[in-house]
Structure 1
């Protein structure tokens, strides 16, 4: 126990001895300092220091000796090496807090998962009456009423679809299926789905498919194009939307150009931010600020770059730049 006591305090003992030796050394090399009194002081201070160590040893080890008398089987070396009661209290408190935080985190995670599953289930349930409403609207004879109801039905459908993909977005990597797909099989169904809205606003489409195939996930690519098309239709009036595909630098590119109100230059860096709508069109209550954000998130997962150029009152052009074929080996290995 004495050895352990000294080892634990060797830094202080070493400092005291170093100071004593330094004092003697200075007195030895400096003739103006008498050496004999310094040696006397050093001897007295060392003697007092030894007495101090003995007293501290007796006082600090008395508790452990009493434990040894009470239970000879106790390992005093382990006890001396053990942490102080204060440190043990702190560690126990931190351990309890960590366990509590883990438990709360797990509870919150399960709650969010349940909420997500409930919402997805609700969205799927709502699609059933939406389908029935579409059939009822198709049987209406009043063309004006039919057009208005179809437009409102489409708005509800697009919002539900956006919400559905938003909840699936965190798990998109588990939902990807990369394959060779025909571009027209993705673009034309989206145009047809938005036909009633376009007819109401007098908007047409000019499609030029210079490239006919891409490697991607058809479901998520359709979602991206749907967001870009709805964005173009929403901010256009009585003008065609140009869609063309071509190859540049061995990258297939899909370009969607409208001639609507355009985007303010100061807004361009923020259009893909979550919840951002516009700094110049605050009266537009129909904007949610989620469409382009979700499109960008999905495009990043598919290694598709989205470039945008726009001029106010002149229109906006979104360009999807697909990765080269060999770059999909990285996606398949994820």
Structure 2
């Protein structure tokens, strides 16, 4: 900061030095002026000027030091008190801009909340005719047509469900209920939802859950499993999908393993990125690239570590590692 202060006052310093040289020049031209006395005056004035700069440095840089260390997420009123009119003008402008940004941010937040509420309301409205369609499809006698219609119905249902949870995830902390949750009912419920799709593709499930409980929220765990199972069914041919659990080092792990086309090694670091689909089947318009991204977001809020292992042609394994009681206690005070 002292270097900046010297550069800012450079013109004044140059002016002072020029005046002293001018006095010396006059003394050289006029022999009647005593050089020794003049040098003494110049020395005293230089010391006085240096002391003046030192005092002004601490006074004039106090505000700018606080401005340099200022976190722009804080209020400008937390800055040091201005020492002069220019600093006061700077602070006033900062306060004015801050108030304007706060008003704009508040308006944008209100607009976002209204749009979110409208979208959630629309999704719930659409679910009503979807339920009616499911009842109509169930009454069909043509099994082939029934199977195809149920598949298309399921696709619409899963997309709406994904969008619904996408809007809720930023506020999911308000909706969490962490408890000892039995894994079997959650897993079997998600499998039943995909039954018609699995029957059409000849896919079965091998479920083994010796570690029967985990500390989590059942509803949001169901959403995470829905994304993993949907991906497993989507990218697998006729085979079994393995869902198993275990307890190791005091932690419960739940694995979902398929024997589908797998994931390329170059894609693995990006599979949880928002909107990422695939580099090998980039033209697949049916993939939204949101399922694993939303699963990771929900898992992070539940303190679940989600990991993936895969190889092309060898299938993919997703592992959910649930937190221990103490992990939640440190964060939530449970």
Query: How high is the TM-score relative to the length of structure 2?
Result: 0.76
Alignment correspondent of 1:198: 198
Deviation at 1:258, TM superposition (A): 0.2
Alignment correspondent of 1:286: 286
Q: 2:35 aligned with 1:38, yes or no?
A: yes
What SS does structure 2 have at the residue aligned with 1:254?
Answer: strand
Flag the 1:45–1:315 CA change in 2: closer, same or farther, 3 A.
Answer: closer
Separation of aligned partners in 1, 2:176 and 2:43 = 78
Separation of aligned partners in 2, 1:16 and 1:281 = 73
Deviation at 1:40, TM superposition (A): 3.9
| Alignment map for 1:91-130 (pairs within 5 Å) | 91-130=91-130
Separation of aligned partners in 2, 1:44 and 1:245 = 90
Q: 2:322 aligned with 1:325, yes or no?
A: no
Separation of aligned partners in 2, 1:218 and 1:45 = 84
CA offset digits 1:101-130 (Å, max 9, x no partner): 211111111101111111111111111111
Alignment correspondent of 2:183: 183
What SS does structure 2 have at the residue aligned with 1:100?
Answer: helix
Deviation at 1:97, TM superposition (A): 2.4
Separation of aligned partners in 2, 1:321 and 1:94 = 47
Separation of aligned partners in 1, 2:213 and 2:43 = 91
Deviation at 1:142, TM superposition (A): 1.5
What SS does structure 2 have at the residue aligned with 1:131?
Answer: helix
Provide the aligned length of Structure 1 versus Structure 2: 277
Alignment correspondent of 2:3: none
Deviation at 1:43, TM superposition (A): 6.6
| Alignment map for 1:231-250 (pairs within 5 Å) | 231-250=231-250
Separation of aligned partners in 2, 1:210 and 1:181 = 14
Separation of aligned partners in 1, 2:41 and 2:123 = 89
Q: 2:167 aligned with 1:170, yes or no?
A: no
Flag the 1:46–1:317 CA change in 2: closer, same or farther, 3 A.
Answer: closer
Q: Which ranges of structure 2 fall in alignment gaps of 5 or more residues?
A: 1-11, 21-32, 47-81
Deviation at 1:326, TM superposition (A): 2.6
Alignment correspondent of 1:151: 151
Separation of aligned partners in 2, 1:39 and 1:323 = 84
Separation of aligned partners in 1, 2:237 and 2:273 = 25
Flag the 1:47–1:158 CA change in 2: closer, same or farther, 3 A.
Answer: closer
Q: 2:273 aligned with 1:276, yes or no?
A: no
What SS does structure 1 have at the residue aligned with 2:122?
Answer: helix
Separation of aligned partners in 1, 2:322 and 2:292 = 17
Flag the 1:218–1:96 CA change in 2: closer, same or farther, 3 A.
Answer: same
Deviation at 1:333, TM superposition (A): 2.2
What SS does structure 2 have at the residue aligned with 1:111?
Answer: helix
For the aligned residues, what is the CA RMSD? 3.0
Query: How high is the TM-score relative to the length of structure 1?
Result: 0.76
Deviation at 1:201, TM superposition (A): 0.8
Separation of aligned partners in 1, 2:190 and 2:330 = 29
Separation of aligned partners in 2, 1:299 and 1:174 = 15
- Pick the structure with greater CA Rg: 1
Separation of aligned partners in 1, 2:45 and 2:307 = 81
Flag the 1:257–1:47 CA change in 2: closer, same or farther, 3 A.
Answer: closer
Flag the 1:188–1:39 CA change in 2: closer, same or farther, 3 A.
Answer: same
Separation of aligned partners in 1, 2:197 and 2:184 = 20
What SS does structure 2 have at the residue aligned with 1:241?
Answer: strand
Alignment correspondent of 2:51: none
Alignment correspondent of 1:83: 84
Deviation at 1:37, TM superposition (A): 4.2
CA offset digits 1:189-233 (Å, max 9, x no partner): 100000000011110001111111111100000001111000100
What SS does structure 1 have at the residue aligned with 2:130?
Answer: helix
What SS does structure 1 have at the residue aligned with 2:308?
Answer: strand
Alignment correspondent of 2:140: 140
Separation of aligned partners in 1, 2:83 and 2:173 = 49
